[in-house]
């Protein structure tokens, strides 16, 4: 391999990774003059972890969201732990003029730059960048795939941890920023501008989406061969269309070939496959479904409430274009749970045409109990997703119909809970059953882990792109005997 490929891997990886770190660093050091005072409209916020002069809002029971309007103590609903938004002997107009002044802005306390989540995020992005370069260089140098696959596992680990840190950091970006006045008896409150707030919310979401696709491909790599992270190949559609069970999102399959079909030989033995599988098992169940779910769940609540507030703010002057966009988002909010529940109902061991249980149900130790638990789980998901979709769609309907909608602490709290439920019971489940389960189960079969023989046959026949012919024949022989 020429040296150009190594330098290209370094350049492309740096160019595609550095913007993630740069954007968070720039938003953390935003100019004090760009902060918007909470004067024209009230700022609704939540503070989960208290820091400095901004304490936690979880000391008031149900009302965990606070409302502040500079100079107005009537419409502001702040607990006694916060500095008052109105200084003594100041009128409302005097207080708002003072908050717009240069002196107050120069005293704004911005904890984003020195936050632990930002430092953790930068280090995780650096580890992600370094591990991707090391992986691609070793693969270009002809290293054994067992080595490059393990480095790929480290790469996705850094990627997932960066997602956690990004969502925790975004919580601080959607909160209020304080500027103490006088002798610390009162303060002005500020928030990030709309564009910066959208970027602060969108960056963790984009990082989460790329992590999901990367985690899927890292599962596919032990089955069909490792791949270069920096390089993207364009392939003729007729080639992709003839590939067995090709996914619309990736061509990382083992059956795509041109004029001469490659004779595929497994690069990893059973012990190595099982070792890689255990690494990925840890990534999926401990890191992705555990740590990432908790961190994103904590951060997604305030982010959802802030997103709804931005929608209501922008809808006042957005015109018909924004109404059309909101209608599309409204449809997606409801169509997504419907599709997910349909997929879950299809995964039940039931023949819906004949209205009877499929044979594989009886391979479980307690078949009826197993079926009852799975049906109850789907019903729980359905009820949570319907409630979350209803809560999230109400502000959109008000914005589309140009109706007045009061965004108060109770509404913000319900939107935050709805966002958490929508992510936990909707997005995470969708990612798991659509993107991760097929490749995860195929790797399970390829490593010949103990599993139901009929599942071996079902997985192998449903996913011929994973080269599971030998495992399917082994399971069929066992069933015949």
- Blockwise average pLDDT, block size 10, the chain, 481 residues: 83 91 85 86 80 69 78 82 85 88 87 86 94 94 91 95 91 86 85 84 90 90 87 72 63 64 68 90 90 88 84 68 81 89 84 75 76 89 93 85 77 90 90 85 85 79 78 81 75
Whole-angstrom CA distances from 440 to 205, 274, 431, 436, 444 are 23, 12, 12, 6, 6
The number of residues making up the chain comes to: 481
Instruction: Identify the pLDDT of residue 137.
Output: 94
| Cβ 111 vs Cβ 172: under 8 Å | yes
Report the alpha-carbon distance of residue 183 to residue 405 in Å, rounded: 38
Share above pLDDT 70 across residues of the chain, in percent, rounded to a whole number: 90
Instruction: Identify the pLDDT of residue 1.
Output: 59
Instruction: Identify the pLDDT of residue 374.
Output: 86
Whole-angstrom CA distances from 438 to 307, 424, 460 are 33, 20, 10
| Count of domains observed in the chain | 1
Residue 459 covered by a domain: yes
| Cβ 87 vs Cβ 2: under 8 Å | no
Residue 15 covered by a domain: no
Residue 92 covered by a domain: no
Instruction: Identify the pLDDT of residue 113.
Output: 80
Return the axis-axis angle of helices 270-281 and 437-446, rounded to nearest 10°: 150
Instruction: Tell me which residue range forms the domain holding 464.
Output: 450-481
This prediction has a pTM of 0.86
Instruction: Identify the pLDDT of residue 253.
Output: 72
Instruction: Identify the pLDDT of residue 71.
Output: 87
Phi/psi of residue 75, each to 5°?
Answer: -85, -15
- Express each pLDDT in 73-112 by its tens digit: 888 888 777 888 888 888 888 888 889 888 888 888 888 8
Residue 300 covered by a domain: no
Token pair 């109990």 in the structure block, residue: 369
Residue 204 covered by a domain: no
Instruction: Identify the pLDDT of residue 391.
Output: 92
Nearest to 309 by CA among 187, 405, 420, 391: 405
Residue 160 covered by a domain: no
Residue 368 covered by a domain: no
| Cβ 6 vs Cβ 137: under 8 Å | yes
Residue 457 covered by a domain: yes
């Amino acid at each position: 391999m020429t040296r150009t490929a190594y330098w290209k891997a370094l350049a492309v990886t740096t160019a595609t990774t550095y913007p993630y770190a740069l954007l968070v660093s720039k938003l953390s050091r935003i100019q004090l003059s760009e902060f918007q005072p909470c004067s024209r409209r009230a700022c609704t916020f939540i503070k989960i972890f208290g820091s400095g002069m901004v304490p936690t809002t979880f000391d008031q029971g149900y009302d965990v969201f606070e409302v502040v309007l500079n100079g107005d103590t009537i419409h502001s609903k702040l607990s006694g732990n916060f500095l008052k938004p109105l200084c003594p002997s100041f009128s409302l107009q005097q207080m708002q003029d003072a908050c717009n002044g240069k002196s107050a802005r120069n005293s704004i306390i911005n904890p984003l730059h020195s936050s632990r989540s930002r430092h953790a995020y930068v280090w995780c992005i650096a580890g992600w960048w370094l591990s991707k370069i090391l992986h691609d260089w070793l693969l270009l140098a002809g290293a054994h795939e067992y080595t490059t696959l393990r480095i790929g596992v480290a790469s996705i680990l850094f990627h997932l941890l960066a997602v956690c840190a990004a969502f925790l950091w975004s919580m601080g970006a959607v909160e209020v920023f304080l500027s103490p006045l006088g002798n610390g008896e009162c303060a002005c409150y500020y928030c990030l501008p709309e564009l910066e707030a959208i970027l602060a919310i969108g960056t963790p979401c984009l990082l989460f989406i790329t992590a999901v696709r990367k985690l899927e491909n890292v599962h596919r790599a032990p089955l069909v061969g490792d791949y270069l992270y920096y390089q993207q190949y364009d392939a003729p559609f007729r080639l992709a269309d003839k590939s067995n069970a090709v996914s619309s999102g990736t061509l990382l399959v083992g059956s795509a070939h041109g004029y001469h079909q490659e004779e595929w030989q497994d690069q990893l033995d059973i012990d190595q496959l099982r070792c890689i599988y255990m690494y990925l098992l840890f990534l999926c169940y401990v890191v992705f479904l555990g740590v990432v779910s908790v961190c994103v769940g904590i951060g997604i609540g305030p982010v959802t409430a802030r997103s709804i507030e931005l929608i209501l703010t922008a809808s006042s002057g957005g015109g018909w274009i924004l109404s059309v966009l909101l209608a599309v988002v409204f449809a997606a909010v409801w169509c997504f749970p419907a599709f997910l529940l349909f997929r879950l109902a299809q995964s039940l061991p039931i023949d819906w045409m004949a209205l009877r249980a499929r044979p594989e149900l009886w391979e479980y130790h307690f078949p009826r109990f197993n079926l009852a638990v799975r049906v109850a789980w789907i019903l729980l998901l359905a009820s949570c997703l319907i409630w979350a979709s209803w809560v999230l769609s109400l502000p959109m309907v008000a914005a589309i119909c140009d109706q007045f909608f009061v965004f108060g602490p109770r509404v913000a709290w319900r939107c935050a809970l709805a966002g958490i439920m929508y992510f936990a019971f909707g997005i995470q489940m969708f990612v798991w059953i659509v993107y991760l389960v097929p490749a995860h189960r195929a790797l399970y079969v390829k490593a010949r882990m103990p599993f139901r023989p009929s599942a071996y046959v079902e997985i192998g026949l449903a996913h011929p792109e994973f080269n599971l012919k030998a495992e399917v024949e082994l399971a069929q022989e066992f069933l015949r005997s």
